Amino acid sequence: MSEQKFIEIEVLRYKPESDEAPHSEVYKVPFTDDMSVLQGAQYIKDNFDGSLTYRWSCRMAICGSCGMMINGVPKLSCETFIRDYYPNRITIEALAHFPIEKDLVVDLSGFIEKLESVQPYIIPAEKRSLDQGEYIQTPAQVQDYMQFTSCINCTLCYAACPQFGLNPDFIGPGAMALLHRYNMDSRDGGAEQRMELVASEEGVFNCSAVGYCSEVCPKHVDPANAVNINKTNAAKDYFLRFLSPKGGAK
């Protein structure tokens, strides 16, 4: 059997009941080549400090719970492997730009409110009765929004977005991708209602096309594209509202 390898994991710790500010602690963790960074955190919790707090669930990049800054990059810790950093130290920190609740757990309440605010459900373009049958959608129409359905709400894109860090009221990449998913659905007629948010001061114009959100997205949703397409839509709405008296914000 080969010799046991160790890696140093530096964790940004924060205990709200006793700490004024976060501080770093370093742990020397034995690891095997199949171990993820999440498993490294679990090893620390089981063997060094049971109070270490982090979110996780599925361990297979589906639930979107285990996002953290790994060496400064927002990543899902379950699909990031310790072996790729060895022999260098790994630094883990709660997702950037969010308030830290405790250790690696961030306060997501602002994000949840944003998700609600985009009206993430189909607002039927035209009401159909049961005997009129189902809403028909062609494969090409499905392709218009398919990519934007893949979001798992992991919020890595928010941790990648400096504009969100600078202005926490910015609706942000993830919620905009979800909004766009419904706007692009041929069965939906809610784009006009959602425009009030898109075109508002909290809306898409906070984005300066950094593009890092799409770079870190583990599901290739391309939220930057959703945000930027809606800049064009909001600009059209801004100028064309003088021609048609309905829709948009006040």
Instruction: By CB under 8 A, tell whether 215 contacts other proteins.
Output: yes
Look up residue 233 and give its two tokens: 């839509």
Instruction: By CB under 8 A, tell whether 22 contacts other proteins.
Output: yes
Residue 13's DSSP bridge partners are 23
The single residue among 209, 220, 242, 243 that binds other proteins, judged by CB under 8 A, is: 209
| Dihedral sign from CA coordinates of 122, 126, 127, 133 | negative
- From 25-33, 52-60, 125-133, 191-199, span contacting other proteins (CB under 8 A): 191-199
CA distances 145 to 18, 124, 182, 223, 225, Å, are 47, 16, 8, 12, 12
Burial 198-207 (b: 16+ CB within 10 A, else e): bbbebbbbbb
Give the three-state DSSP class for 114. Answer: helix
- From 1-9, 39-47, 129-137, 199-207, span contacting other proteins (CB under 8 A): 199-207
Instruction: By CB under 8 A, tell whether 224 contacts other proteins.
Output: yes
Map the footprint of other proteins across residues 140-159, applying CB under 8 A.
Answer: 140
The single residue among 16, 28, 47, 142 that binds other proteins, judged by CB under 8 A, is: 16
Question: Considering only CA atoms, which of 248, 124, 121 is closest in space to residue 186?
Answer: 124
HSE-up of residue 111 (Cα within 13 Å, Cβ side): 22
Contact 165, 97 (CB under 8 A): yes
Instruction: By CB under 8 A, tell whether 229 contacts other proteins.
Output: yes
CB closer to other proteins, 9 vs 96: 96
Map the footprint of other proteins across residues 67-126, applying CB under 8 A.
Answer: 72-73, 96-97, 99-101, 107, 117
The single residue among 199, 218, 219, 221 that binds other proteins, judged by CB under 8 A, is: 199
Look up residue 11 and give its two tokens: 């964790």
The binding site for other proteins (CB under 8 A) comprises 14, 16-17, 19, 21-22, 72-73, 96-97, 99-101, 107, 117, 140, 162, 165-166, 196-197, 199-203, 205, 208-212, 214-215, 222, 224-225, 228-229, 231-232, 234-235, 238-239, 248-250
